[in-house]
Amino acid sequence: MILYHYTSADTFKFIWSSKTIRFAPAETTNDFFERFKTFVLTQDTFKRDGKQLDRNRFDHFDEKIRAELSKYKQVSFSYDYDDGMKGYASPMMWGQYAWRKIDKNTGQNGVCIALDSDKIKVPSFVNKPEKVSYTFTFEPPKVENIDYTQENAAALFVERNLKTYFFTKHKHWEHENEYRYICKQEGVLDISEAITGIYVLWDECTPLDDIKIIVNDDSLVRLLALDDFKRKDDEPYSLKEICDLQELMESYKF
């Protein structure tokens, strides 16, 4: 599968120089409901094997759950849309993740990095990546059928609900078409052998000269024009193809 990572021009410099993408704290997501993950306490929270547990022994278990959730980090990508739109051609994603405001009047475009998921080197401590599901009926997990007196009870509760906490979002976010990696340690994804293209917008807000110097491979840099934001199978022209075409046209001048 080809994955797409939108980022600012500044962050792209670090990604390209290291050929890695760093995991970020999960609570830094721009989705309010993801930043403040919740759960529900019910009568069954205080029962185990049909017997009532002493509520006084709950011992701030809710705080332990939140502490456990705060350990998780993530890296997010997009992929090609079911309607035929390419993952690099989302106007919303360009505006939301690959744009940096310089001052009140100007801004700068970033890039979209295309990656072959099979060639990403993933550390062993990273959970299996998944596509995010989108729903209108999000329900927080219930704290039930778990012995919260055990030392690792909070970790077990979160692991049991990873799908809900990290791979389920509100329907209004489905335009992100998200594919996500999560883990509980500091780490990076090694993309040194996975990069298949660097997509940039072909306009005055794109620091194309800087990107050319950084990448130093005109065949890898692909220029997106307005026509590329349509559902089609053709790849945008690479910078090398455009330069070759311009050189050819110059040779025909009399």
Tally of domains in the chain: 1
Tokens in use for 68?
A: 């456990």
Q: Which residues contact 136 (CB under 8 A, 6 or more apart)?
A: 170, 171
Exposed/middle/buried for residue 62 (C-beta within 10 Å: 0-12, 13-18, 19+): middle
Tokens in use for 249?
A: 């046209």
pLDDT at residue number 205:
83
Please state whether beta strands 168-170 and 133-135 pair in parallel, antiparallel, or not at all (unpaired). parallel
181, β-bridge pairs? 75
pLDDT values of the chain reduced to their tens digit, one per residue, 254 residues: 999 999 999 999 999 999 999 999 988 887 777 777 888 877 666 666 666 766 666 667 888 889 999 999 999 999 999 988 899 999 999 989 998 877 666 778 899 999 999 999 999 999 999 999 999 887 889 888 777 778 888 999 999 999 999 999 989 999 999 999 999 999 999 999 999 999 998 888 888 888 988 998 989 999 988 777 776 677 888 888 777 765 655 666 55
The whole domain housing 190 covers: 2-251
Tell how far CA 101 is from the center of its chain: 21
Q: How far apart are CA 153 and CA 62, in angstroms?
A: 11
Q: How far apart are CA 56 and CA 12, in angstroms?
A: 51
